[in-house]
Amino acid sequence: MIIMFKKRDNIKEVEEGKYLSPKFDQNDLIPVVTTDSQTGGILMHGYMNYEAFKKTIETKEAHYWSRSRKKIWHKGQISGFVQKVKEIRIDDDQDSIWMSVDIGGGASCHVGYRSCFYRSIPLGKIKNEEKLEMEFVDKKKTFDPKKVYKDEPNPTKL
Amino acid sequence: MIIMFKKRDNIKEVEEGKYLSPKFDQNDLIPVVTTDSQTGGILMHGYMNYEAFKKTIETKEAHYWSRSRKKIWHKGQISGFVQKVKEIRIDDDQDSIWMSVDIGGGASCHVGYRSCFYRSIPLGKIKNEEKLEMEFVDKKKTFDPKKVYKDEPNPTKL
């Protein structure tokens, strides 16, 4: 079935070979880190299944597997913030993907920020029973999620 | 037990609050993307359990959970390529981490490259039964893994 990948039968080839032989995890997913081709910063961390990965390569628009909605997710279908794929790389043991995308002046985070990573964790010695208080490194939302998503359910799960 | 985190009892607080409330997955791990504080590029994609996360915050040196070795992994313990943590961010639903580290003139990838992401995947229409041939975007190794790791087992699994 998986005809676009080389079989993983040799560690040397997986690490140093030229053929794509990705490893999907126990849920048939591979983690994907998406960076902003304009700023270089990380926009989001998601997952792809085989179909999402193939669609992304072929259409050059990011498709993910939504774990909360349990379906293929063509990013931007609702919000309009489509991710145009500039480059995709894979790591040494071929079990994670780095994708660089162009989102123009848009956003990537359903909360309204350009990047999902808008909070920074304090570093250093932790006192007992202390809750860690983060800093908002991105203070301004790019869009209003209430206006964009209307009655769509929030994908965040507790 | 997990005293440094706020309980995840409210989606609004998880997304827009200032308290750290990370979500660990079914294996008690959280995915971590590590970028190079000098170049901005992605060095590696790994995982932390609670203990590795706490040690990283407290010591400001990257600790991961090695899934192949099934133990805490103080990065650089064998190779000497310790990762000095400059910043840690968490994403909107607090289930993935972005860490920026300084590795000086060192490397991050056990195959010998500075970054684990040294191969780029071709984009566009895929022909039937075609194996995808990648391009080496990083052609030069930073170190010789045979000299550095000697008889250590290779962490890559098929």
**Chain segment A88-144, per-residue pLDDT in tens:** 999 999 999 999 999 999 999 999 999 999 999 999 988 877 789 999 999 899 999
Mutation site for B-interface testing, chosen from A39, A67, A93 by largest number of B Cβ within 10 Å: A93
C-beta neighbour count of A4 within 10 angstroms: 18
Q: Assess A157–B contact: CB distance below 8 Å, yes or no.
A: yes
Helices (H), chain B: 11-16, 50-59, 145-149
List the one residue out of B74, B69, B85 whose CA is nearest residue B51.
B74
Contact B101, B36 (CB under 8 A): yes
Distances (CA, A) of B78 to B61, B74, B85, B147, B151: 14, 9, 18, 11, 11
Q: What percentage of residues in chain B have a pLDDT greater than 90?
A: 87
Torsions phi, psi of A50, nearest 5? -55, -45
A88 touches chain B (CB under 8 A): yes
pLDDT in tens, B59-97: 999 999 999 999 999 999 988 999 999 999 999 999 999
Q: B2 and chain A: CB distance < 8 Å anywhere?
A: no
Contact list in A for residue B91 (CB cut-off 8 A) is 44-45, 109, 116-117
Please provide the size of chain A in residues: 158
Kindly report, residue by residue over A34-74, the tens digit of the pLDDT: 999 999 999 999 999 999 999 999 999 999 999 989 999 99
pTM of this structure: 0.95
**Phi then psi for A37, rounded to 5 degrees?**
-65, -20
Q: Tell me whether residues A60 and B123 touch, CB distance under 8 A.
A: yes
What does the alpha-carbon distance between residue B83 and residue B73 come to, in Å, rounded to a whole number?
12
